[in-house]
Amino acid sequence: MSVRLIESLATTPALAALFSDESVLRAMLEFEVALARAEALHEVIPKKAADAIAAGAHPANFDIPALADATFRAGTPAIPLVKMLTEQVRKADAEAARFVHWGATSQDVADTAMSLLLKRAKPILSGDLKRLETALADLSERHKNSIMMGRTLLQAAPPVTFGLKAAGWLAPVRRGRKRLQNAFRNAAVLQLGGASGSLASLGDKGIPVAQTLNAEFGFEDPPPVPWHTQRDRLATLVCACGVLTGSLGKMARDISLLMQGEVGEAAEPAGEDRGGSSTMPNKRNPTACSLTLAAAHRLPGLVASFLSAMVQEHERGVGGWHAEWPIIAAAVQSTGVAIASMAEVAEGLSVDTEKMRLNLENTNGAIFAERAMLLLGAKFGRDVAHDLLQTAVKKSAAERRSLSSVLAEIPEVIAHLGPAGLKQLETPEQYLGSAEVFRKTLASDSDPQDDDKEQ
């Protein structure tokens, strides 16, 4: 499936195909066919009419550009779709054409079609999320002893391990996946309420028809009460997309910063025509991180737009419902491209542990000022030790000497720590605290629902 050029950085081929005109049309026609079959089963309409509707509902019979033009005038795709389908059925069976769309309303078609698309989107996103989680868990384990300097407010800070950093990316991704799976399951539900949500048009056959239709589509059972202007399930899904993509954006931001030339501690996988520049042959740009960050920039606006559209009037919204299709499609596709991009990064990320160590050493021990302050604070008090270390760090930077060598010139420091203590001061392995415990905790999180069957 080809992708529109203007959307080429905002989706994946699989999701572009899923939300394509052809796929959306097919989902709407699936609703009409399944509705007719369910109604025939419960003797609401003749079985012959249901068969004729199914025969006429072939996507190739429909002019998509004409349908789109008519949708603009009608305010919903269901009205021109039903008209076109009726004409197709009438060609073969004029009597059967009377029963097209029997008892349903336009929103039943649109909402159920979107639910079908969301049901099919879930495994696409879940597959890439599993790839990402597996790759991050592997990165964390392989680099549990790879020491690097921490960075707070973009400034050098006490050391951490790259394994801990990778586990820190993994944990919110895992939480986000669970949140997203639940949201997909709750949002992909049947909509069948008729004109005003009572399904009065089907009399006492309404609930049985809905149950049969629900089973046909494989949605969660039992089918919900019609939810025409109650949009909380879809809102929860869009919000879950926003939160997960924000977490992926944080990971992408970290990696893109680690890729900076003057840092050089990690890099996205390289490849032909990947990460280059149109003018600078030397460049290796964070392409996948850029796509993820772009998605993370888009999602907050989409979330806000959907939430504002929730305020819908009475039994059928004016404008709010009509705003949703492009918002949902964009949110799911943006989330999908972010997941796929970071899965590719995590699976092929190159990590330069030597450069991590070099960058740490180039701080001349300044990142161990906290450690020295705590050691000296036990003797002189925290405030006195803080002032002493602040002066020493400034002198270390000005003279481009190690912090320990500057502290060695202060008699009271030597008296308290001794030469051996000063020598050990700038050993990063001795100032990692509970980093490995935290890494294991973040990386070992498991859930018995992780391997639940995708629908």
Same domain, 181 and 291: yes
Q: What separation in angstroms does the CA of 79 have from each of 206, 215, 238, 380?
A: 21, 25, 27, 81
Task: Please check the confidence at residue 179 and state whether its pLDDT lies above 80.
Answer: yes
Residue 181 to residue 178: CA distance in whole angstroms: 5
Q: Which of 331, 361, 391 is the last residue of a domain?
A: 361
What SS3 class is residue 150?
Answer: strand
Q: Please check whether residue 448 lies inside any domain of the structure.
A: no
**Cβ burial, residue 72 (10 Å; 0-12/13-18/19+):** exposed
Q: What separation in angstroms does the CA of 301 have from each of 8, 75, 241, 307?
A: 19, 24, 12, 10
Same domain, 29 and 100: yes
Q: Please check whether residue 290 lies inside any domain of the structure.
A: yes
Q: Which helix (H) or strand (E) holds 16?
A: helix 13-18
Q: Please check whether residue 438 lies inside any domain of the structure.
A: no
Same domain, 176 and 208: no
Same domain, 321 and 400: no
Task: Please check the confidence at residue 455 and state whether its pLDDT lies above 80.
Answer: no
pLDDT (tens digit per residue) in 28-78 = 999 999 999 999 999 999 999 999 999 999 999 999 999 999 999 999 999
Same domain, 356 and 242: yes
Q: Give the pLDDT score at 446.
A: 57
Contact of 254 with 351, CB cutoff 8 Å:
no
Same domain, 206 and 239: no
Amino acid at 234: L
Same domain, 212 and 131: no
Q: Give the pLDDT score at 445.
A: 72
Q: Please check whether residue 342 lies inside any domain of the structure.
A: yes
Four-residue CA torsion sign, 45, 46, 51, 52: negative
pLDDT (tens digit per residue) in 413-452 = 998 888 888 888 999 999 999 999 999 999 987 544 444 4
Q: What separation in angstroms does the CA of 382 have from each of 86, 407, 424, 427?
A: 83, 16, 21, 22
Question: Which residue in this structure is represented by tokens 């429909």?
Answer: 62
pLDDT (tens digit per residue) in 230-283 = 999 999 999 999 999 999 999 999 999 999 999 999 999 986 655 554 454 445
Buried/exposed 147-181: b ≥16 CB within 10 Å, e otherwise: bbbbbeeeebbbbbbbbbbbbbbbbbbbebbebbb
pTM to 2 decimal places: 0.93
Mean of the per-residue pLDDT values of the chain: 93
pLDDT (tens digit per residue) in 376-408 = 998 889 999 999 999 999 999 999 999 999 999
User: Directed axis angle between helix 287-309 and helix 232-258, to 10°?
Assistant: 160
Q: Which domain holds residue 375?
A: 366-425
Same domain, 381 and 414: yes
Nearest C-alpha neighbor of 366 from the set 386, 385, 389, 383: 389
Nearest C-alpha neighbor of 214 from the set 38, 401, 29, 18: 38
CATH number of the domain where residue 421 is located: 1.10.40.30
CATH number of the domain where residue 185 is located: 1.20.200.10
* Number of domains observed in the structure of the chain: 3
Q: Which of 361, 380, 405 is the last residue of a domain?
A: 361
Q: How many CB atoms sit inside 10 A of residue 31's CB? A: 28
Q: Please check whether residue 260 lies inside any domain of the structure.
A: yes
Catalytic site includes residue 316: yes
CATH number of the domain where residue 208 is located: 1.10.275.10
Q: Please check whether residue 196 lies inside any domain of the structure.
A: no
Q: Give the pLDDT score at 448.
A: 42
Q: How many CB atoms sit inside 10 A of residue 14's CB? A: 18
Same domain, 310 and 252: yes
Joined tokens for residue 311? 């305020």
Strands 155-161, 266-267: parallel, antiparallel or unpaired by DSSP? unpaired
Q: Give the pLDDT score at 276.
A: 52
What SS3 class is residue 242?
Answer: helix
Enter the DSSP assignment of 453: P
Residue 267 to residue 258: CA distance in whole angstroms: 7
Q: Please check whether residue 443 lies inside any domain of the structure.
A: no
pLDDT (tens digit per residue) in 257-267 = 999 999 999 99
Catalytic site includes residue 247: no
Q: Give the pLDDT score at 273.
A: 58
Question: What percent of the chain is predicted at pLDDT more than 90?
Answer: 87
Q: Which helix (H) or strand (E) holds 181?
A: helix 162-187
Q: Which of 277, 308, 434, 444 is catalytic?
A: 277
Residue 373 to residue 291: CA distance in whole angstroms: 42
Contact of 3 with 16, CB cutoff 8 Å:
yes
Residue 130 to residue 151: CA distance in whole angstroms: 29
Q: Please check whether residue 431 lies inside any domain of the structure.
A: no
Q: Give the pLDDT score at 272.
A: 65
Q: Which of 98, 175, 316, 401 is catalytic?
A: 316
Same domain, 275 and 396: no
What SS3 class is residue 366?
Answer: helix
Q: Which helix (H) or strand (E) holds 266?
A: strand 266-267
Same domain, 297 and 391: no
Same domain, 61 and 146: no
Residue 27 to residue 118: CA distance in whole angstroms: 11
